[in-house]
């Protein structure tokens, strides 16, 4: 049976001079781990399982299944809660749903994560599982504080689902949640020096950088949640990718969190894939995006390779590209960044004639290709790495050009601003009525804005 093992082994009876090299693992049922004692010693000493993170794939699969089942079982309760607080997406000209749909799916998702976490502690106490919550030696992370930050972000999403927070209030809540995580010791404090030995330290700048990173991750998932099952599927693929990377780089905390997150997403898709009977709402989108950002930091913190930073960025490449293009598009059109429009990737795909399901599957496939490329880049070197990078860039460039995602930006240069009849300027020279006619975006968020400033728009 294949085993996933880290080299952090602080057990009784071993001197501080024990150097942990690549462990030797017996493939039999009972795990046997040996470490080389001393720098130049050829002697191998057998270590007990306790104190060593040694989790087999069956245990990981159990956590995945438990998270998925718990999420599925909690969805009906989340629906009833949404109805009670009137957190419902009613049909309108801006939404694709033709009947009222509850939007507090994040409640079921949080429940699935908590069940998975409880299963880990039960496994540790009853079944002899080793403690996976072991951060990188360079990090001093308070996991309880990290969990508190996740709960705070979830609370921000729930309140917005119910009462529709103002943009600045919602953004302030997101920043506060990220600050809680940063204060708990999880920081993007350094990167491997790509031009020489050692690391490039960010110093005090690591605090605002990490806050920005986490808030950005939360919002890219929020913005991509425009079709049934789209955000949940993309997050699941990204989480599986981070799980694989965490296993390859011996990051037990990231592996456990990512496999649980993937299970939650897969379980939620049972009710969220088209035709969806529940939307995740901001409570779910912010929870998934924020958790994904946290897991990615655990996975790449103090990584031995600079290219490791590409793994989370490529795994979440599609929502990141969509968000970046939306910001540029709205800025060049002289519109608020958080104002919804119909220029997202899924809009373009549906305009070409694809159905909701086909559009979702295409974007899942795009995400999977980029995620696989991200992992391969870290495992290859030289020409192999260049080839994989070119594949990722080529697939992305093809999608951007084929769907004419840059057209709104390029047209701005040929059609400068013109004054409308009301005396206001529109970015592409159309009247207010004409411009408004194209914003037919609908969905599980508010009617006016999206992202940090509102609910999750569905179109």
Summarize the annotated binding site for Mg(2+) as residue ranges.
Answer: 222, 282
State phi, psi for 418 to the nearest 5 degrees. -130, 150
What secondary structure does DSSP assign to 255-278, as a single string?
Answer: HHHHHHHHHHHHHHHHHHSSSPS-
Distance of CA 113 to the CA centre of its chain: 14
How many H helices and E strands in the chain?
15, 11
How far, CA to CA in Å, does 317 sit from each of 216, 223, 301?
A: 13, 13, 19
Structure tokens at 320: 């990141």
What would the two tokens of residue 446 be?
């508010």
Return binding residues.
222, 282
For residue 374, which phi and psi values (nearest 5 degrees)?
-60, -45
Q: Find tokens 């569905």 and name the residue.
A: 458
Give the separation between CA 411 and CA 331, rounded to whole angstroms.
Answer: 13
Instruction: Determine the Cα–Cα distance for residues 214 and 83; give it in Å rounded to an integer.
Output: 31
Q: Which of 105, 114, 99 is nearest to 78 (CA)?
A: 105
């Amino acid at each position: 049976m294949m085993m996933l093992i880290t080299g952090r082994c602080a057990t009784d009876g071993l001197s501080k001079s024990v150097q942990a090299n690549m462990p030797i693992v017996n493939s039999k049922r009972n795990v046997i781990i040996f470490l080389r004692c001393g720098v130049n010693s050829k002697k191998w000493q057998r270590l007990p399982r306790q104190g060593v993170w040694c989790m087999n794939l069956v245990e990981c699969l159990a956590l995945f299944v438990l998270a998925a089942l718990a999420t599925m079982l909690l969805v009906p309760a989340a629906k009833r809660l949404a109805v009670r607080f009137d957190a419902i997406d009613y049909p309108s000209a801006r939404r694709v749903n033709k009947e009222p749909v509850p939007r507090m799916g994040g409640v079921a998702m949080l429940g699935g994560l908590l069940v998975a976490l409880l299963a880990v502690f039960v496994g540790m106490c009853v079944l002899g599982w080793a403690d996976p919550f072991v951060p990188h030696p360079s990090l001093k992370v308070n996991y309880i504080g990290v969990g508190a930050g996740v709960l705070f972000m979830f609370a921000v999403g729930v309140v917005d689902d119910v009462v529709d927070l103002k943009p600045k209030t919602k953004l302030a809540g997101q920043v506060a949640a990220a600050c809680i995580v940063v204060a708990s010791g999880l920081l993007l404090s350094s990167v491997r020096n790509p031009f020489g030995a050692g690391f490039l330290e960010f110093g005090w700048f690591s605090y605002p950088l990490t806050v920005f990173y986490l808030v950005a991750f939360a919002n890219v998932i929020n913005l991509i949640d425009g079709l049934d099952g789209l955000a949940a599927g993309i997050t699941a693929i990204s989480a599986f990718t981070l799980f694989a990377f965490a296993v390859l780089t011996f990051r037990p905390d990231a592996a456990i969190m990512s496999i649980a997150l993937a299970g939650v997403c897969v379980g939620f898709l049972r009710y969220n894939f088209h035709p969806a009977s529940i939307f995740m709402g901001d409570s779910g989108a912010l929870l998934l995006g924020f958790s994904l950002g946290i897991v990615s930091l655990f996975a790449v913190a103090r990584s031995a390779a600079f290219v490791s930073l590409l793994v989370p960025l490529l795994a979440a490449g599609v929502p990141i590209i969509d968000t970046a293009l939306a910001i540029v598009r709205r800025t060049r059109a002289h519109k608020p960044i958080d104002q919804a429009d119909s220029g997202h990737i899924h809009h373009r795909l549906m305009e070409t004639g694809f159905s909701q399901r086909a559009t979702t599957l295409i974007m899942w496939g795009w995400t999977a290709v980029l995620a696989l490329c991200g992992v391969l880049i870290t495992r290859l070197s030289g020409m192999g790495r260049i080839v994989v990078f070119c594949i990722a860039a080529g697939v992305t460039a093809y999608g951007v050009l084929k769907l004419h995602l840059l057209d709104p930006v390029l047209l701005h240069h040929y059609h400068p601003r013109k004054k409308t009849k009301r005396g206001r300027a529109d970015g592409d020279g159309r009247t207010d009525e004409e411009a408004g006619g194209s914003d037919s975006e609908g969905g599980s968020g508010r009617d006016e804005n999206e992202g940090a400033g509102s609910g999750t728009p569905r179109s």
